Homo-oligomer: A and B are copies of this chain.
Amino acid sequence: MKRKVCVVVASRANYGRIKYVMRAVQQHPDLELQLIVGASTLLERYGRSVDIIRREGFEPDRSIFYVVEGETPLTQAKSTGLGIVELSTAFQDLQPDMVVTVADRYETMSSAIAASYMNIPLVHVQGGEVSGNIDDRVRHAITKLADIHFPCTEQSRERLIRMGEDEHRVFNHGCPAMDVIANEDTSIDNEIMAGYGGVGTSIDWTRPYILMVQHPVTTSYGDGMNQVMETLHALCEFPGHQKVVLWPNSDAGSEDVAKGIRVFRERGEASGFHFYRNFSPEDYVRVLANAKACVGNSSSFIREGSFLGVPAVVVGDRQRNREHGGNVVFADYTQASVKDAIERQLAARAYEHDSLFGFGDAGRKIADTLATIDLNYQKSNSY
């Protein structure tokens, strides 16, 4: 009998990271994919990534709305709670042999708690990393609940073992987000990108542009508006480059960051800027791969950026302690600091590819491990 592998996709970012695992599970003779989509994947405001998921051949077994509106730390906690209430029922119905959860956000915690309390083996992808904010706590807490770990780098693998995880249950197969890059054409042109609406100055994708993605930082809730405006103003100092901006993720503080962007636009400063809601993971990689530089705090700059060798300016604390390749320069939350860093990176042009996050075949390797690993495992914790 096939092992039922239940993947919970709860945000746009989740999907980009886990898509090639889903595909490999779907194609594996000994595995059966169960898919639950939830939280911001279902919401207009975050681009309804469920539509992309469906279009790419994955039919959800369950769709669960569990975002409590408010975008404060309070409602983030509530969403986690509501997610547990509903995901547990879905797990009960679907009776998976294991549950796969990705990364470190609150939607992820919901799956982790529901599955581990229900004695369903929990698989955690992208554990063991450190970025220096609250996500670290959540990521490490999920590690302690999980049975099988797929960290994305060697350093992460070692950290998980140091934290007490059984080394026979920790596998560094690289990062499945890299599979998107390795497997798909990353060239860009205006035709490909024509479908994405957005607002602002229209972009000619064949000409130089800088990509900006700046998420709220949950431990300093309330500063998001100023922080994003410093970055936006720094970008204004590069009139020779087009500016492609992605709206922030659903998160405590995202409304704050979004407000900064709105104010910037309403003041009429946004000449040369175009603002997008969402790209498919593939198209996002195209946008990143072809940028002259990328600015903000998206972990994709460190992750896909190092694989692709894109010059990245990482602003603020959010990724400060994260393991990174040579393509990254850090900057403070000030216009001047960001401007300097962009200048340096534009001068650097492109970097060499870096195998820090693997070879782009993580999905298949993870599926192989899931098909064969012993599931009758009693986690010891007695180190």
Contacts and interface: CB of A to CB of B under 8 A. Distances in A.
A70 to B, nearest CB: 5
Contact of A89 (B69, B89, B92): B89
Interface string A51-71: 000000000001111111111
What copy number does this chain have within its complex?
A: 4
B130 A381 contact: yes
Contacts of A65: 68-70, 72, 74-75, 78, 89
Contacts of A199: 266
Interface string A137-154: 110111111000000000
Interface stretch (A110-118, A240-248, A278-286, A291-299): A110-118
A169 interface: no
A92 B63 contact: yes
Given A65-B78, A68-B67, A78-B85, A321 B382 contact: yes
B70 A77 contact: no
Contacts of A142: 141
A378 B220 CA distance: 11
Nearest to A266: B199
A66 to B, nearest CB: 7
Contacts of A117: 73, 76-77, 80, 106, 134, 252
Contacts of A137: 116, 144-145, 379, 381
Contacts of A136: 379, 381-382
A274 to B, nearest CB: 12
A141 B112 CA distance: 11
Given A78-B85, A141-B145, A73 B382 contact: no
A221 B141 contact: no
B164 A378 contact: no
Contacts of A321: 380-382
A44 interface: yes
Given A141-B142, A144-B141, A381-B136, A119 B219 contact: yes
A180 B373 CA distance: 47
A83 interface: yes
Q: Which 4 A-B pairs have the closest CB atoms?
A: A81-B84, A140-B144, A136-B381, A77-B117
